[in-house]
């Protein structure tokens, strides 16, 4: 009985250790919780995200995952929900940039800003400062997507989809390059 209570308390501690939507930074590194991370249910609906360069990324959620109009059957897609003030999000940028370059013909990253009060100019400055080589979306549609992806409330969270739009894996918190790359290869091959 004591062991069960300890396990529950540890799980609750991990669950609430990530960055949330507030602007307060506590600097803790987020541990990946393996409990139910891939328990995501999708409801069929359409989305249209707008990038900082005013392009649209449209897709539809299905019971299997997300069907991206532009990338369907061409590229695996990693949806990265992040905030500019989140230390683990910033720490993960070099890995994402490197993996995007390495698998550019078969892999796309769609970065979804999980902040309401950032101007387009601030995001463009962030992109330039960090050398980001993939689209970042902003706007209210980002929050609707975060709700669809299991009601995301903390960042970073990433969701990987195969070329045919099937959900492959969910990553919560800081993820090693090796683990991310292993799943990207799987998403590209399937």
Is the bond preceding 136 in cis, omega lying within 30 degrees of 0?
no
Report how far residue 97's alpha carbon sits from residue 92's, in angstroms, rounded to the nearest whole number. Answer: 9
Kindly tell me the sign of the dihedral angle through the C-alpha atoms of 35, 109, 99, 186: positive
Q: Pick the residue with more confidence: 91 or 23? A: 91
- Name the CATH architecture for the domain at 2-189: 3-Layer(aba) Sandwich (3.40)
Report how far residue 22's alpha carbon sits from residue 69's, in angstroms, rounded to the nearest whole number. Answer: 32
Structure pTM? 0.79
118-132: pLDDT as tens digits? 999 999 999 999 999
Lowest mean pLDDT, pick from 6-15, 95-104, 114-123, 140-149: 6-15
Answer yes or no: is pLDDT of 5 > 90. Answer: no
Report how far residue 131's alpha carbon sits from residue 176's, in angstroms, rounded to the nearest whole number. Answer: 20
What pLDDT sits at residue 117? 87
Residue 158, CA atoms < 13 Å, CB-side half-sphere: 26
Domain residue spans in the chain?
Answer: 2-189
């Amino acid at each position: 009985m004591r062991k069960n209570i300890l396990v529950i308390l540890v799980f609750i501690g991990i669950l609430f250790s990530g960055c949330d939507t507030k602007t307060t930074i506590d600097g803790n590194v987020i541990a990946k919780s393996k409990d139910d991370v891939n328990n995501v249910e999708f409801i069929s609906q359409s989305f249209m995200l707008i990038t900082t360069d005013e392009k649209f990324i449209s897709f539809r959620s299905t019971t299997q995952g997300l069907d991206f109009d532009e990338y369907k059957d061409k590229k695996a897609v990693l949806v990265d929900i992040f905030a500019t003030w989140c230390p683990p999000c910033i720490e993960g940028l070099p890995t994402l940039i490197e993996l995007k370059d390495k698998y550019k013909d078969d892999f796309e990253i769609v970065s979804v800003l999980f902040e309401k009060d950032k101007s387009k100019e601030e995001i463009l400055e962030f992109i330039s400062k960090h050398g980001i080589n993939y689209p970042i979306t902003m706007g209210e549609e980002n929050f609707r997507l975060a709700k669809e992806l299991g009601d995301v409330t903390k960042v970073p969270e990433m969701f990987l989809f195969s070329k045919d739009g099937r959900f492959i894996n969910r990553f919560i918190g800081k993820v090693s390059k090796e683990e991310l790359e292993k799943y990207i290869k799987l998403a590209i091959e399937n």
